[in-house]
Amino acid sequence: MPELPEVEVCRLGISPHVVNNEVAKVIVRNAQLRWPIPVDVQKLVGSKVLEVDRRAKYLLLRFDIGTLLLHLGMSGTIRVIDNTVPVAKHDHFELVFINGTVMRLNDPRRFGAVLWLDKHEDQQGLLSKLGPEPLSDDFCYDLLYQKAQNRKVPIKTFLMNNHNVVGVGNIYANEALFLLGILPTTQAGELSKKRYNRLTDIIKQVLSAAIEQGGTTLKDFTQADGRPGYFAQSLYVYGRAGQACLTCKETLLEIRQSNRSSVYCPNCRQA
């Protein structure tokens, strides 16, 4: 599943090709995604993309009349390509621009979303209850510590709750906890303020590093045969269960938490 760094790289990849571009046509080939694609998306014909933002894992294409919200779900990818490129299986939605390019959403599992938000509507509803962006100044020292007081949920579950902080998905929660030597089963309320402040720094570091690594794939967003939205990363624990820890060579262990894989080193731990 694309996580925050993949979505941010997607934003960086498509922005130069869609901003200030006028929509000539909106094509919906399959409206049945996670939620039905609303007919309001047809309002975009004749409007220009003003900017491309990101909130959590949502891409927000801003227009003067409102915002087009896109979510990649578990398998979605977005490309900006020439409109002569043949339509592929699972190309469910596209914006055709007057310069001859097209932005296509491909989503085999159809867990993604295409929604329309009227002007200022993103200040309420779907986006209004999200926590702070982890790479913003709003994600500051003491924030996690205060939210964690008296919480008995596992720290990994706590970090993946979008009400506490957005975009720290399964991959990066695994990585951040390993780097600080915290067991993913540790109760959120047991960690000290000092450790939470250090965890805040590490979350910023692992997400920033992932975005930087993904920068090498920006060209994929304009290639018909590319695989945009995903990129190879150097990970310490995620996906490496049963392999040797890169720090101490101990065998990495795996448990299930909330139907997600948690991988950790039984030796490199402090809690």
Contact status, residue 154 vs residue 187, Cβ threshold 8 Å: yes
Q: How confident is the model at residue 133 (pLDDT cuts 50, 70, 90)?
A: very high
Do the domains at 4-127 and 143-264 have one common CATH topology? no
Instruction: Please pick, among 57, 79, 104, 156, the residue that the annotation labels catalytic.
Output: 57
2 carries an active-site annotation? yes
Q: What is the pLDDT of residue 131?
A: 95
Classify strands 101-106 and 58-63 as parallel, antiparallel or unpaired.
Answer: unpaired
**Is 109 annotated among the ligand-binding residues?**
yes
Give me the chain's average pLDDT, please. Answer: 92
Question: What is the domain class of 4-127 according to CATH?
Answer: alpha beta
- What are the Cα distances from residue 76, in Å, to 141, 229, 255? 34, 8, 27
For the segment 225-230, the average pLDDT, to the nearest whole number, is 72
Q: Where are the domains of the chain?
A: 4-127, 143-264
Helix (H/G/I), strand (E/B), else coil: 187: strand
Q: What is the pLDDT of residue 22?
A: 98
Amino acid identity, position 67:
T
Contact status, residue 95 vs residue 81, Cβ threshold 8 Å: no
Residue 199 to residue 193: CA distance in whole angstroms: 10
152 carries an active-site annotation? no
Instruction: Please pick, among 43, 48, 55, 260, the residue that the annotation labels catalytic.
Output: 260
| Nearest Cα to Cα of residue 218 among 58, 64, 16, 75 | 16
Does residue 129 carry a pLDDT above 90?
A: no
Q: What is the pLDDT of residue 124?
A: 59
Contact status, residue 110 vs residue 73, Cβ threshold 8 Å: yes
pLDDT tens column, 243-268: 999 999 999 999 999 889 999 999 98
Q: How confident is the model at residue 60 (pLDDT cuts 50, 70, 90)?
A: very high
Q: What is the pLDDT of residue 223?
A: 79
Residue 5 to residue 7: CA distance in whole angstroms: 5
For the segment 54-76, the average pLDDT, to the nearest whole number, is 94
CB neighbourhood size of 192 (10 A): 10
pTM of the model: 0.92
CATH architecture of the domain with range 143-264: Orthogonal Bundle (1.10)
Residue 117 to residue 68: CA distance in whole angstroms: 6
Contact status, residue 28 vs residue 41, Cβ threshold 8 Å: yes
For the segment 177-184, the average pLDDT, to the nearest whole number, is 96
Does residue 147 carry a pLDDT above 70?
A: yes
Measured N-to-C along each axis, helices 4-18 and 193-214 cross at an angle, to the nearest 10 degrees, of 40
Does residue 195 carry a pLDDT above 80?
A: yes
Q: Say how many Å lie between the first and final Cα of the chain, rounded.
A: 29
Q: How confident is the model at residue 218 (pLDDT cuts 50, 70, 90)?
A: confident
89 carries an active-site annotation? no
Q: What is the pLDDT of residue 219?
A: 81
Does residue 1 carry a pLDDT above 80?
A: no
CB neighbourhood size of 218 (10 A): 17
CB neighbourhood size of 135 (10 A): 16
Token reading at 210: 């992932």
| Element spanning 101, H or E | strand 101-106
228 carries an active-site annotation? no
Does residue 122 carry a pLDDT above 70?
A: no
CA torsion, ordered 54, 149, 206, 75, to nearest 10 deg: -50
Residue 201 to residue 175: CA distance in whole angstroms: 13
Instruction: Please pick, among 3, 6, 94, 175, the residue that the annotation labels catalytic.
Output: 3
